[in-house]
Chain A
Amino acid sequence: MNRHPLQHQNSNVHRERDLRALSRLALQLGCALALCCGFVFAAGQHFAAVRYGYESETLRVERQKLLEEQQRLILEKERASSPARLEAAARQLGLKPLQPGQVGTRKPETGRQLPVATALIHRSASFNR
Chain B
Amino acid sequence: MSAMLARLSAESKIRPDASIRRALFVAAFIIFWVFAISVRLVYLQVSQHEALGERARSQQQQAIETSSQRGILLDRHERELARSIQTDSIFIDAAKLENAGDIDCTAARLAPLLAVKKEDLQGKLEDAKSKNSRFVWIARRLSAEQATAIQGLGLPGVNFRSEPKRFYPNGSIAAHVLGFVGIDGAGLGGVEQFYNEKITGEPGKLFIERDSEGNPYESFELPGTPGQTIVLTLDHSIQFRAEQALLAAVTKSRAKSGTAIVLDPRSGEILALANAPTFDPNKPGEAKPEARSNWALQNIYEPGSTFKIISFSAAIEKGLAKPDDRIDCQMGSIRVAGRVVHDHHAFGSLTITEALAKSSNVAAIKLGIRVGDPTMYEYMKRFGFGSRTGIELPGETAGLLRPVSRWQPSSIGSIAIGQEIGVTPLQMAAAFGALANDGVRVAPHLVREVRTAAGASVYRANPEQRRVVNAETARALRQMLESVTLNGTARLAQLNGYSAAGKTGTAQKIDPKTKAYSQTKHVA
Residues of A within 8 A of B (CB): 1, 50, 53-54, 56-57, 60, 68, 71-72, 74-75, 78-79, 81-84, 87, 99-101, 103-104, 126-129
Residues from chain B with Cβ under 8 Å of A126 in the complex: 496-497
Partner of A83, one of B209, B216, B236: B236
Do B173 and A100 have beta carbons less than 8 Å apart? no
Q: How far is the CA of A82 from the CA of B75 in the complex (A)?
A: 12
Which 6 A-B pairs give the minimum distances between C-beta atoms?
A: A78-B169, A83-B240, A53-B218, A53-B217, A82-B170, A71-B85
Question: Is B83 touching A75 in the complex (CB atoms < 8 A)?
Answer: yes
The answer to the question of B454 belonging to the interface, with a C-beta cut-off of 8 Å to chain A, is no
Q: Which residues of B contact A81 (CB under 8 A)?
A: 79
Contact B83 A84 (CB under 8 A): no
18 contacts between A and B (CB under 8 A): A50-B217, A53-B209, A54-B217, A56-B218, A60-B219, A74-B80, A75-B83, A75-B85, A75-B169, A82-B171, A82-B173, A83-B170, A83-B173, A99-B496, A100-B495, A101-B496, A103-B497, A129-B494
Contacts of B85 in A (CB 8 A): 68, 71-72, 75
Question: Could you tell me if B217 and A57 are in contact, using CB atoms closer than 8 angstroms?
Answer: yes
Q: Which of A50, A79, A104 contacts B169 (CB 8 A)?
A: A79
Instruction: Tally chain B residues at the interface, Cβ within 8 Å.
Output: 30
**Known pairs A75-B169, A126-B496 / 19 extra A-B pairs, C-beta < 8 Å:** A54-B215, A56-B219, A57-B208, A57-B216, A68-B86, A71-B83, A71-B84, A75-B83, A75-B167, A78-B80, A78-B169, A79-B170, A82-B169, A82-B170, A83-B170, A100-B496, A101-B497, A104-B497, A129-B499
B83 CB contacts on chain A under 8 angstroms: 71, 74-75, 78
B59-87 to A contact mask, C-beta < 8 Å, 1/0 = 00000000000000000000110011110
In the complex formed, the residue of A with least CB distance to B72 is A74
Q: What A residues does B80 contact at CB under 8 A?
A: 74-75, 78
In the bound complex, residues from chain A placing their C-beta under 8 Å from that of B237 are 83
Q: With a CB–CB cut-off of 8 A, which chain A residues contact B209?
A: 53
Q: Which of B153-198 contact A (CB under 8 A)?
A: 167, 169-171, 173
B516 within 8 A of A: no
Q: Are A71 and B497 in contact (CB under 8 A)?
A: no
The answer to whether B496 and A84 have CB atoms under 8 Å apart is no
Which residues on the A side are within 8 Å of B16 (C-beta)? 1
Shortest C-beta distance, A88 to chain B (Å), equals 12
CA distance in complex: A54, B219 (Å):
9
Beta-carbon nearest neighbor of B167 in chain A: A75
- Tell me whether B6 is interfacial, beta carbon within 8 Å: no
Q: Determine if B144 is an interface residue (Cβ-Cβ < 8 Å).
A: yes
**Of the residues A75, A84, A127, contact of B497 by C-beta under 8 Å:** A127
| A60-B219, A84-B170, A84-B171 known; A100 vs B498 contact (CB < 8 Å) | yes
When chains A and B are docked, how far (Å) is the Cα of A44 from the Cα of B364? 94
Contact with B218, one of A1, A57, A74 (Cβ below 8 angstroms): A57
A56: chain B residues at CB < 8 Å are 218-219
CA distance A83 to B494 in the complex (A): 26
Q: Say whether B217 contacts A128, CB under 8 Å.
A: no
Q: Are B496 and A128 in contact (CB under 8 A)?
A: yes
CB distance from B66 to the nearest CB of A (A): 10
